[in-house]
Amino acid sequence: MTAPVTLFWFRRDLRLHDNAGLYYALKQGNPVLPLFIFDRMILDRLDNKQDKRVSFIYEAICHLKQQLQDIGTDLKIIYANPEQAFRELLQDYSVNAVYTNHDYEPAAIRRDEEIARFLKAQHIGLHTFKDQVIFDRDEVVKDDQTPYTVFTPYSRKWLEKLDDYYLSSYPVQQYTTHFHPVKKPFRMPALQELGFEPVPGVFHHPAIPVKIIGHYEQTRDYPALHGTSRLSVHLRFGTVSIRELVRRGKALNDTWLKELIWREFYMAILYHFPHVDGQSFKKQYDLIPWRNNEQEFEAWCQGRTGYPIVDAGMRELNSTGFMHNRVRMITASFLTKHLLIDWRWGEAYFAEKLLDYDLAANNGGWQWAASSGCDAVPYFRIFNPGEQARKFDPESKYIRKWIPELGTLDYPGPIVEHKAARERALTVYKKALQKDA
């Protein structure tokens, strides 16, 4: 048994710099042993053995492990469910505390409560800190302390509250001598041992594209352009600091900064209204009798609906794990309004495919498109895919990139006629909502 150590448990914060929980762990003085758990409870549920997210995390962990080795410590990696991992660690180490950063998803909250109970029984504290957001939980609420459910007043309060205190970095580098020294590097399991095959080229180090952010409002809606920052995956896994990004957004572009505020708005909604994970935020929208045609859903998934902008988006998603945000709105609107397929089906498909998948943002986006969410598009606003393509991909560059067979017999005709689908959606929504009135 070694001398007492403090464990720092990396999760959605895969970086050393400006890491709140890591800073506090190092500052408390006892040697800090870094830990990452490949959680079997999550990994064993993934059917795709070439999951791009797992490859991204694996490469990020390799990079983090090398950084730690360079300063004389190492990352302890365990493949198990979290409680089993801590049982293992307590056999080898005298652990006096566990530090980590808050996680806000319902399943993660339950996991952390279970781990806290387990550790408490061993007389070990679990200390968690705010790191992946500027404001969390009850920090941005109305004057009567109830949560906001409309974005504009939320964002106004968010910006009013923002000051240098919330944007200050945590100077981890001042305390790196407080890491637990490791002379012989810990073993890194091969990705195949975790049950997955590597997907090359998925991970890249975060770089803040200053020029793109500076022109964001001019380029963000055009999928043929490289006009968005592509930082969402780095925010998802914490390979970049939210404080650094907000500082850049403040300096460079208010429109881009607003996207970061939307992210926190949806995280607050999930925290205050956990029923949105599986149910409509506006509960009357659960009365909508979805058609849920499985053949049409499969055509949507495969990018074979006969609507080029929809199909291009789905093929981009299937091929790369990314979809342009404007196209996410178009594809989601098409599924829920044109095909009258339950938004939860689309949400689950995106959850499986998106490299930057985040429960709060994905759920918020789908409920926005289906009109069932807070501050959502009204049900009678239905995107016209043809008009969207003409407006945002006028030369069809994006469409032709993903649909090379466009204009040939190999490309299907539309599975539904726009005007008829729109009228059907309006009728179904109106009737269901009148029942509740």
**Rounded distance, CA 137 to CA 130, Å?**
10
What residues act catalytically? 259, 262, 290, 325, 343, 366
How many helices and strands (H and E) does the chain possess?
20, 5
Would you give the distance in Å from CA 72 to the centre of its chain?
Answer: 32
Q: How many CB atoms lie within 10 A of CB 81?
A: 19
Contact in structure between 203 and 56 (CB atoms under 8 Å): yes
> What are the C-alpha distances in Å from 147 to residues 75, 117, 132, 266, 267?
39, 29, 19, 12, 12
* Residues sharing a CB contact under 8 Å with residue 265, sequence separation 6 or more, in sequence order: 148, 151, 154, 155, 158, 364
**Rounded distance, CA 38 to CA 79, Å?**
5
Helices (H), 340-384: 343-353, 359-370
Instruction: Look at residues 270, 393, 276 and name the one whose alpha carbon lies nearest to residue 324.
Output: 393
